[in-house]
């Protein structure tokens, strides 16, 4: 089975008939989902940290937890372009839903510009923010983070594995952070 996740660096339109979602895999650990309105316009998006596991040839299990603690588990078959999405919402409105659909690559437009709030801030856990604030790194303040000198200080810390304090970031996250800096530090 392949070691690399085939979605990395690609965008897909997932069509569940009752809803459509753009899946933008920026790395093998980062995904931006964009829910589409019936007219094709974006209804909202979220960037999440994902885990991927190859479970059969061209078939991957992709999991994540959204900001509201909704849990999503996908089975993505890249040879058949089919997807099964299992979504569990948290208590007190607990529910479980399963959707079957297809997914097709989205034509590549210009590379999307990364933003702090949409792409970089979700990489920092609440404990990272609480720990680094007293050390002069205000990770929860987009204006502070979008200042070149401050962004460089944080980049230097994550790339040298001094931050976060418990577990170093994988190279894909460090690269995403660097890409955001190179693209102009958009809030």
Q: What is the mean pLDDT of the chain?
A: 89
Summarize pLDDT for 103-120 with one digit per residue, the tens: 999 875 445 678 898 889
Which stretch of DSSP H or E encloses residue 154? helix 148-159
Is the pLDDT at 1 greater than 70, yes or no? Answer: no
Give the list of residues 6+ apart from residue 85 with CB closer than 8 angstroms, or none: 14, 16, 72, 73, 74, 98, 99, 100, 101
Summarize pLDDT for 128-157 with one digit per residue, the tens: 888 888 888 899 999 999 999 999 999 999
Taking the CA atoms of residue 123, residue 12, residue 15 and residue 75 in that order, the dihedral angle to the nearest 10 degrees is -70
3-state secondary structure of 136: coil
CATH 2.40.128.20 in the chain: give the residue spans.
Answer: 11-105
Residue 118 pLDDT = 86
More confident residue, 164 or 83: 83
Average pLDDT for residues 25-38, to the nearest whole number? 90
Written as six digits, the tokens of 47 are: 């960037």
Give the percent of the chain with pLDDT over 70: 95
Average pLDDT for residues 62-86, to the nearest whole number? 95
Residue 62 pLDDT = 97
Chain position carrying tokens 């659909």 = 101
Is the pLDDT at 33 greater than 70, yes or no? Answer: yes
Name the pLDDT band for 3 (thresholds 50, 70, 90): low
More confident residue, 115 or 73: 73
How much is the pTM?
Answer: 0.58
Residue 110 pLDDT = 43
Class of domain 11-105: mainly beta
Average pLDDT for residues 57-77, to the nearest whole number? 95
Q: Chain centroid to CA 110: how far?
A: 19
Distance CA 83, CA 61 (A): 10
Average pLDDT for residues 29-54, to the nearest whole number? 90
């Amino acid at each position: 089975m392949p070691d690399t996740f085939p979605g990395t660096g690609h965008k897909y339109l997932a069509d569940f008939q009752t809803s459509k979602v753009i899946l933008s895999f920026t790395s093998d650990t980062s995904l931006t989902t964009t829910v589409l309105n019936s007219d094709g316009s974006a209804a909202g998006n979220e960037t999440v940290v994902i885990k991927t596991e190859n479970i059969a040839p061209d078939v991957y299990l992709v999991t994540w937890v959204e900001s509201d603690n909704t849990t999503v588990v996908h089975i993505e078959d890249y040879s058949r372009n089919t997807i099964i999405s299992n979504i569990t919402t948290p208590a007190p409105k607990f529910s479980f839903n399963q959707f079957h659909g297809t997914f097709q690559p989205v034509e590549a437009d210009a590379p999307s510009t990364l933003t702090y709030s949409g792409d970089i801030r979700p990489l920092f856990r609440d404990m990272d923010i609480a720990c680094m604030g007293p050390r002069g790194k205000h990770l929860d303040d987009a204006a502070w983070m979008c200042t070149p000198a401050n962004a460089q200080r944080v980049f230097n810390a994550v790339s040298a594995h001094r931050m976060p304090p418990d577990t170093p970031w994988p190279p894909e996250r460090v690269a995403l952070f660097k890409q955001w800096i190179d693209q102009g530090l958009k809030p």
